[in-house]
Amino acid sequence: MTTTYELRIRNDRHVVDIAAPDMGVPATGRNSPNQTGGGEIHTEWLRELTSVPRNAAVLKDLISRTPALWFLGERPATILRPRSRRAGVKGLHEVRAVAIGPYHRGDRGLAFDDESKLPFLRYLRGQCGLDLEECVAALGAARGSFRDEFADDAAAADLLRDEEKFVKMLLLDSSFVLVFGLMFGRPGSRVNGAAASVTREHFVLHSALAQHADEIRLDLLVLENQVPFAAVELLAASCRRLKLRSVEELVLGCFDSICPRRAHGKVDLETTDARFCHILHLFHWSRVPENKYRVLSMPLKLLEAEPEPERRIPCARELQRAAVWFRKPSLDTEGTIRGGDLDMEFWTAAASPIALMSIPSFHIFPYTAALLHNMVAFERHFHWAHGVCATVHVARMEGLVRCPQDAALLRRRRVLGSVKCTDEEVVDFFRGIGVEATGVRMPEEYGEMLAAVARHRRRRARRWCGDFILHFLPSPWVAVSLAAVAALIIVPAMLQTIYTILGYQSSR
């Protein structure tokens, strides 16, 4: 007698399950020798291989290890300590004036501790009509989602687990951020002038903040020194007499004086539906171009097609020798750079021996290293959702500036603007920041530029053109001088010839 099995196939997230035999025949878990032709084959392992719980666990693990599937997995924490190179670059992630969030709560020497934040909360209650009880209730109801924004950290475990301390931290930090935005944000963000009335309390708080305004701006852009932006929005919504067009625009206006500047199309926040995790996320979104640098990895064919030395962009002098001209990017009707301060483009034509590379002016200020460090750290952890624009820009600039002569060339081309550092310090600056970009996956735009530059450099005519310009026309003033000399020699000779011909014809 043969044993008959019924195979029941269920479409449960692409998992096929083999049900237990239920045909009135005992489940022996083995095949009959009559069927197999000899020898018994145990089949208990089939149920283990096709079980739904085991497959679901494996799929969950694959999703957690695949950045491209971030939207299918659990949302990771967005406020964390960037642990790469922390020991040697303490100045790039430390706070100077105020601790926002749990990680720097115990730092000494800060201008604004928890006790100093109480007047900001009282200011919102008195001047903006803050309903404190309603706000605390709303923060407490959402404390679970707010807690998920912070990564686990041994130093901040007690504060994150204690519900009362956690809600108090959210309340005080959100009050500080909101008042700082009201006093130093972009004018016009406040529709209602209720919060702008000048009182003794307003004067004291404004003077205290103005004394440390530059340090506070940098502290609010540190990856581990953040508070969930939804908590700030909830606090603003609880202020009855405060009417804002956009809380994001109010806070982002505090950073208009910080380079890099806003990208094209990121000026008006009222037209976007993006939701921001924290202030650094908001700042990063406002500085990167739209719909670029979002691809997770560079195509392997672009990497395999080029030798090892050409897997990064050539230096500025090598590009100059290959007849590549550097120019500033074009501006739109509003006077802003189309791609922003963190975008580069490369153009070349088959019929032209000259190529163009558009590079925005890169300004190095005392805060630039810390700012780029935090932007690159943000992209390192969240490149799957927010792109790697800052990382690509750092990698390109590191390739362009490899020696002091490269820095001097870009300085003459006004690519490095308002730089107070020496050429050697500029090289060290990009080399130090470039270490942060090591190991980060690059988008297609990076590989496409490398491939276009490599194709341009392989053509002999362009190398000859570059050598001719480098040796005989090293400066635009040389070309102008040659044109002036040619004009002084050729134009009088042509005029003399014309006058001679006219005189001869008139004499006839």
The answer on 188 and 155 residing in a single domain is yes
In angstroms, how far is CA 396 from the centroid of its own chain? 15
How many CA atoms are closer than 13 Å to the CA of 194, on its beta-carbon side?
15
pLDDT value for 85: 52
Residue 508 forms part of a structural domain: yes
Residue 379 forms part of a structural domain: yes
Q: Check pLDDT > 70 for residue 68.
A: no
pLDDT value for 292: 87
The answer on 480 and 465 residing in a single domain is no
Residue 17 — very low, low, confident or very high, per pLDDT cuts 50/70/90?
A: very low
pLDDT value for 73: 64
Q: What is the pLDDT of residues 223-265, one digit of tens each?
A: 999 999 999 999 999 999 888 888 999 999 999 889 998 887 7
pLDDT value for 55: 82
Range of the domain at 454: 306-472
Tell me how crowded residue 376 is: count the other CB atoms within 10 A of its CB: 25
Q: Which residue has the higher pLDDT, 399 or 485?
A: 399
The answer on 94 and 48 residing in a single domain is no
Q: pTM for the complete prediction?
A: 0.79
Residue 337 forms part of a structural domain: yes
The answer on 141 and 278 residing in a single domain is yes
Q: Which residue has the higher pLDDT, 335 or 391?
A: 391
The answer on 266 and 354 residing in a single domain is no
Residue 450 forms part of a structural domain: yes
Q: Which residue has the higher pLDDT, 27 or 125?
A: 125
Residue 448 forms part of a structural domain: yes
Q: How many folded domains does the chain comprise?
A: 4
Mean pLDDT confidence for 481-486: 70
User: If you write DSSP's letter for every residue of 324-389 in order, what string do you get?
Assistant: EEEEPPPB-TTS-BSS-TT--EEE--TT-S-EEEE---EE--TTHHHHHHHHHHHHHHHHHHH--H
Helix or strand (DSSP H, E) at 213 = helix 213-219
Mean pLDDT confidence for 70-82: 74
Residue 44 forms part of a structural domain: yes
The answer on 268 and 203 residing in a single domain is yes
The answer on 497 and 461 residing in a single domain is no
The answer on 120 and 39 residing in a single domain is no
Residue 293 forms part of a structural domain: no
Mean pLDDT confidence for 306-327: 74
Lowest-pLDDT range of 17-31, 249-263, 361-375, 383-397? 17-31
Residue where a domain stops, chosen among 241, 259, 287: 287
The answer on 149 and 14 residing in a single domain is no
The answer on 481 and 459 residing in a single domain is no
Q: Out of 2-11, 36-45, 426-435, give the one with best mean pLDDT.
A: 426-435
d(CA 212, CA 90): 20
Q: What is the pLDDT of residues 434-483, one digit of tens each?
A: 887 777 778 888 988 998 888 877 776 655 555 545 544 555 555 566 67
The answer on 263 and 114 residing in a single domain is yes
Mean pLDDT confidence for 73-90: 70
- Give the Å distances, CA to CA, from 483 to 464, 490, 494: 21, 10, 16
Instruction: Report the candidate in 106, 84, 100 with the shortest Cα–Cα distance to residue 215.
Output: 100
Residue 80 forms part of a structural domain: no
- Give the Å distances, CA to CA, from 494 to 352, 479, 497, 501, 506: 31, 22, 5, 11, 18
The answer on 487 and 411 residing in a single domain is no
